[in-house]
Amino acid sequence: MKKKFNSVISTAVIASLAITGCSSSTQPTSTDSNTNSDQKTEKKESVLRMNLQAEPPSLHPGIATDVQSISVMRTTMEGLTRIGMDGKPHEAGAEKVEISDDLKTFTFTIRDHKWTNGDPVTAHDYEFAWKWVLDPKNEAPYANMLYLIENAEKAKKGEVSLDEVGVKALDEKTLEVKLINPTPYFMELTAFSVYYPINKKVVEANPNWHTEANTFVGNGPYKLEEWQHGTELNLKKNADYWDASSVKGDMIKLMIIEDQNTEVSMFESGELDWAGSPLSEIPPDALVPLLDQGKVTSKPIAGTYLYRFNTTVEPFTNAKIRKAFSYAIDRQDLLENVAQGGQMPAMAFVPPTMIPENEKGLFADNNVEEAKKLLEEGMKELGVDKLPPVELLYNTQELNAKLAQAIQDQWKKNLGVDVTLVNKERKVQLEEEKSGQYIMSRGAWLGDINDPVNFLELFVSVEGNNRTYWTNEEYTKLINDTYSMKDNAARMENFKKAEKILMDEMPFMPIYFYTYNYMKADNVKDVYMDGLGSIDLKWSYVE
């Protein structure tokens, strides 16, 4: 027996998602008394102007991991489900979902809708896209998010063929998905970008289809009209979108302005309708007075700012040295005097929105004496009297630079260690991390679903987004065991034990839990941002 998925169903996972940025969807009408009643009032085009701050590294659903790329794809593409403004998953690319009694088989009926090139979207497009991610020859960082599907992980490792993966198009309209274990948040997962479909015909004709506006093919509320690399992206309402009546905007202009002070100036002069998070940041020097003036909206979100260590390169092959670098900084001082955006010091990885106890932390901040002791012990274990050269790689952004300089000073003062700062564009930084060509790098993890597994499963294996190259057998078992646990309290205990191992090994050093700060024009309506900090512009418009 199967049961139909109810799009307003609430699970423990999605119930905690916060809803903000929602305004009335009714546009007021106005009458000009000087206009003759028989004259028609011309409707002004609704154009939303925002800043991406950086060129999207990739608009391929199987490759993208950054906020800018995923935000653009969320606007131009459609998964089986979409998170609505109520914070819950609703049918989108699928018009109906049937779930087996054991909660392990999901049967999706694909609704009648089209790609922007006019092709129909079929169940085969979803099967093709998911198996592309799982194909061992493709570097898909988010492949692990599909591992709850039967044989998905084995296929990615080359142990079984892709034909044995538990996703199959039964016909043009029917997609059957078989899971290893009951997964209460699977409907939420199918709204995430790595689960988007890909037009097989387009990919086979041009593997680089996702790199230019004139070859990009989507199925979402907007289509990619223009992409001037390094300058801007223009998104135009997709008249053929299945839910076009809910899309009230006409155009979204996404500028690529690297300098954040310029972004703030453009907002204040009326050239932008939104400034700051989540696509960019308001620089610290500008943020403080703007907060004092009440011009900024602040929103805590499930995300962690961090520095990752390359655990395959000395001196960070040694856990004691990694902990020494982490313990030696004063997070509270950094946030009060540098970041100044209402962030919370992070002495854990998983945000308190998911594990409340993490607000207290799993290690002591600014523990300089312990840091010195650990550094000395770690150097003895490595058999060195002097540390090899240490570099910190960070991407172009004012706050990143200010924090890096302040932390560099703290390491020098508290540990006597010299660290060289290396600043590169985000795309270059990602490439060097993926190839292991770094020693220490600035990073972050923003939740994709509101469950600790989304943070902690990153380190189950040395692949995908685990660019520290660290893993641990006991840790991996603790996380893997949670996939079959039905008792949420037991799952949480496993998560806590695993995170304790993670923080004891310290393959990265958490610095703060994110707070998003942004400014928006009063006439910008219905921009939806959830508790994870994800933004959806489907319903947005300028009044």
Per-residue pLDDT of the chain (543 residues; tens, 9 = 90+): 444 444 433 333 333 333 233 333 333 333 333 434 444 456 689 999 999 999 999 999 999 989 999 999 999 999 999 999 998 999 999 999 999 988 899 999 999 999 999 999 999 999 999 999 999 999 899 999 999 999 999 999 999 999 999 999 999 999 999 999 988 789 999 999 999 999 999 999 999 999 999 999 999 999 999 999 999 999 999 999 999 999 999 999 999 999 999 999 999 999 999 999 999 999 988 998 999 999 999 988 899 999 999 999 999 999 999 999 999 999 999 999 999 988 999 999 999 989 999 999 999 999 999 999 999 999 999 999 999 999 999 998 889 999 999 999 999 999 999 999 999 988 888 889 888 999 999 999 988 888 899 999 999 998 878 999 999 999 999 999 998 887 889 999 999 999 999 999 999 999 999 999 999 999 999 999 988 889 999 999 999
| Whether residues 416 and 490 fall in one domain | yes
Task: Tell me which residue of 154, 86, 169, 56 sits closest to 123, measured CA to CA.
Answer: 169
DSSP letter assigned to residue 229: T
* Residue found by looking up tokens 């080359």 in the block: 158
Q: Phi and psi of 316, rounded to 5°?
A: -90, 15
DSSP letter assigned to residue 380: H
Task: Tell me which residue of 183, 174, 130 sits closest to 152, measured CA to CA.
Answer: 130
Task: Tell me which residue of 193, 150, 156, 187 sits closest to 60, measured CA to CA.
Answer: 193
Supply 350's token pair.
Answer: 């998983």
Q: Phi and psi of 519, rounded to 5°?
A: -120, 140
| Whether residues 338 and 403 fall in one domain | yes
Q: Give the model confidence (pLDDT) of 103-135 as tens digits.
A: 899 999 999 999 999 999 999 999 999 999 999
| Whether residues 433 and 501 fall in one domain | yes
* Residue found by looking up tokens 């310029």 in the block: 262
**Beta-carbon contacts of residue 293 (< 8 Å; ≥ 6 apart):** none
Interstrand relation of 390-395 and 419-424 (parallel, antiparallel or unpaired):
parallel
| Whether residues 438 and 533 fall in one domain | no
DSSP letter assigned to residue 15: T
DSSP letter assigned to residue 348: S
Measured between alpha carbons, how far is 396 from 112 in angstroms, rounded to an integer?
A: 43
Bridge partners of 227, per DSSP, are: 233
Number of compact structural domains in the chain: 2
Domain that holds residue 470: 298-516
* Residue found by looking up tokens 């131009």 in the block: 76
Measured between alpha carbons, how far is 507 from 470 in angstroms, rounded to an integer?
A: 6
| Whether residues 72 and 209 fall in one domain | yes
Within-domain flag for 31 = no
| Whether residues 234 and 312 fall in one domain | no
What does the pLDDT read at residue 43?
Answer: 67
| Whether residues 460 and 532 fall in one domain | no
Q: Are 310 and 321 spatial neighbours (Cβ–Cβ below 8 Å)?
A: no
What does the pLDDT read at residue 531?
Answer: 82
| Whether residues 454 and 427 fall in one domain | yes
Task: Tell me which residue of 314, 309, 305, 310 sits closest to 334, measured CA to CA.
Answer: 305
| Whether residues 146 and 99 fall in one domain | yes
pTM of the prediction? Answer: 0.76
Bridge partners of 535, per DSSP, are: 529
Within-domain flag for 144 = yes
Q: Are 116 and 215 spatial neighbours (Cβ–Cβ below 8 Å)?
A: no
Cα Rg, the chain, nearest whole Å:
24
Supply 532's token pair.
Answer: 């994870």
Measured between alpha carbons, how far is 311 from 492 in angstroms, rounded to an integer?
A: 27
Within-domain flag for 284 = no
| Whether residues 117 and 232 fall in one domain | yes
| Whether residues 79 and 111 fall in one domain | yes
What does the pLDDT read at residue 488?
Answer: 85
Rounded to the nearest 10 degrees, how much is the dihedral formed by the CA atoms of 75, 79, 85, 88?
-160
